[in-house]
Amino acid sequence: MRLERITAGLLGACGVAAAAASAHGGDQRLMGAVALICLTHAPAILALSAIGRSRLVAVAIVLLFSGAAVFSADLALRALDAARLFPLAAPTGGLAMIAGWLLTAASGLFNVRQSH
C-alpha cells in the first residue's frame, strides 16, 4: 500500500499544480484537463489499494496510474508548447485508464476481496 500512496500523492500534487497553472495562464483547457485527470485518479488509486492485494486490483492500479501519468504528461507538454511525449501518448494513456476502470468494475463483478 505504500507504493499506492506514493503514486496517489504524486498524481494529487500534479493535479493541484496543473489547476494552479490553469488559473494563472497557459492553455487553460489542457491544464484543466490535466488537473481533472490527476485529481480524480489519485483518490481512486487510494480506494483501490484499500480493497486488497488481488492481481486484478493491482493491475487496475498500475493501468490507472500509468495511464493518468502518460495522458497528463502529454497534455501538459502540449500546453507548454513543447513537443509531445511520444506519438499517440494521450490516446495510449486514455486507453490504459479505460482498461483500469474496466478492471475495477471486473473486481466488483468477481467480488475481489483482500487476500492475506
Q: Which residues contact 101 (CB under 8 A, 6 or more apart)?
A: 60, 64
pLDDT reported for residue 115: 53
Cell of 37: 485527470
pLDDT reported for residue 116: 47
Cell of 81: 508548447
Reported as a single tens digit per residue, the pLDDT across 12-61 is 999 999 999 999 877 899 999 999 999 999 999 999 999 877 899 999 99
pLDDT reported for residue 112: 62
Query: pLDDT above 70 covers what percent of the chain?
Result: 96
**Residue 83: pLDDT band by 50, 70, 90 thresholds?**
confident
d(CA 57, CA 73): 24
pLDDT reported for residue 42: 98
